[in-house]
Amino acid sequence: MDAASLVREMSNEMKDLEETLRVHAYPAKVAEGSIGKTALQKFAGEQFHIIRSDLRSVAALVTRFGALPSREYFWNILQGEKAALEALKALAAALGVSENWLDSYDPTPKGQAYTAYLAWLGSYGGQGQVAAALLVNFPAWGYNCGRMSSALKSRHGLKDSEVAFFDLFASPPPDLEESGLAVIAAGLAAGETPLEIKRAARLLQAYELMFWDGMLEIALPSSR
């Protein structure tokens, strides 16, 4: 199976999960004003720990695959994570918390399941597994980031510079899919199986949903 066919098959198999993510209640509740500043601060706290972990995970991938063409793909992902961490600080400041507060924030298990699995992939996953998981995950995450950006500007009065964290993910590089497919193809050629690649994508996407569910539970405990 070629990489493009595999991704199409994965996307079709996970279309219900994708749709569940795209209509998740959390961004909608932010837009409605049901989720206030305290809960949004916790969202930023969770993301601070996620991004710092993801930086280490992707750096590990750059090292592991440093002698292969896929190094450039993972290097570009790493630069995106670095930019996101800086942008997150502006979001946190707009929400009234400092970097020290973010560092001391005690993250939740549901909030960190995604990043824990990405750390596993960073240490043990094949290049195709990681690229497929990110390729499937980024559109849903980016779509909800777009919803969050709009909601925070319209409901909470944040400026464009203060929601840059979300806008970075809402507008990914145009060649992200093409470069990801090339890495998946390399993984298949190196012996990774379609089953392994699909499994990585399915699990990361499921952990993405767990993150949003966890954020909703923090903000509105009655949603449990």
- pLDDT over 80 (residue 222): no
pLDDT for res 174:
83
Q: How far is residue 35's CA from residue 42's CA, in Å, rounded to a whole number?
A: 11
Structure tokens given for 61: 């991938």
CATH topology of domain 3-219: Heme Oxygenase; Chain A (1.20.910)
Q: How far is residue 84's CA from residue 213's CA, in Å, rounded to a whole number?
A: 22
Comparing CA positions, the residue from 31, 17, 89, 50 lying closest to residue 219 is 31
Global pTM reads 0.95
- pLDDT over 70 (residue 76): yes
For 5-53, write each residue's pLDDT tens digit: 999 999 999 999 999 999 999 999 999 999 999 999 999 999 999 999 9
Q: How far is residue 32's CA from residue 50's CA, in Å, rounded to a whole number?
A: 26
State the chain's mean pLDDT as an integer: 96
Full DSSP string of 135-151: HHHHHHHHHHHHHHHHH
